[in-house]
């Protein structure tokens, strides 16, 4: 009588325990949940109507491959300005940062992504180029970060 063939070398020598199987399942579920949550966060960032964009002037970075926490690839952080935005009965201090790149390769802002909002005092922010070397560099997009209460 012949013995059954040996299992391939990459198979574990012992069957997985219930604990190891459960650990793998939890890891897979957490990974899936994190990926889905990140997609929802990016979709939520692509809206000028959010309260923390009250003093924003520029294109949303999330529309150009970046986010409120990172500039799109090929750009770097430029200057910043501040505004106080009203939400939940309080004024919040919001920092707006421009992401800068070569002036001659500046992409067009996609439809629905250009935010020119009034600030808390009913005035538009100044439309200045906060990028270093403004003769060769231009603002591609703007990020918004809530810092604290005003």
Query: 42 in helix, strand or coil?
Result: helix
Q: Would you call 61 helix, strand, or coil by DSSP?
A: helix
* pLDDT at residue 91, rounded to an integer: 92
How confident is the prediction for the chain on average, in pLDDT?
Answer: 79
User: pTM of the full predicted structure?
Assistant: 0.62
| 25-43 per-position pLDDT tens digit | 777 777 776 666 544 444 4
Residue 2 C-alpha from the chain's centroid: 61
Measured at the CA of 61, the angle between CA 57 and CA 65, to 5 degrees, comes to 160
All structural domains of the chain, each given as residue ranges with its CATH number in brackets, are 51-149 (2.60.30.10)
For 87-113, what is each residue's pLDDT tens digit?
888 999 999 999 999 989 889 998 888
């Amino acid at each position: 009588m012949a013995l059954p063939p040996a299992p391939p070398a990459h198979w574990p020598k012992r069957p997985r325990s219930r604990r190891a199987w459960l650990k793998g399942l939890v890891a897979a579920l957490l990974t899936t949940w994190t990926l889905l949550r990140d997609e929802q966060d990016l979709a939520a960032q692509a809206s000028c109507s959010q309260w923390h964009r009250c003093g924003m002037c520029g294109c949303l970075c999330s529309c150009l491959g970046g986010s409120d926490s990172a500039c799109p690839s090929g750009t770097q952080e430029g200057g910043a300005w501040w505004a106080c935005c009203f939400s939940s009965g309080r004024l919040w201090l919001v920092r707006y940062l421009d992401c800068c790149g070569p002036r001659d390769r500046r992409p067009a802002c996609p439809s629905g992504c250009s935010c020119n909002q009034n600030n808390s005092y009913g005035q538009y922010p100044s439309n200045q180029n906060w990028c270093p070397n403004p003769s060769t560099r231009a603002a591609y997009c703007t990020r918004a970060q809530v810092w604290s209460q005003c």
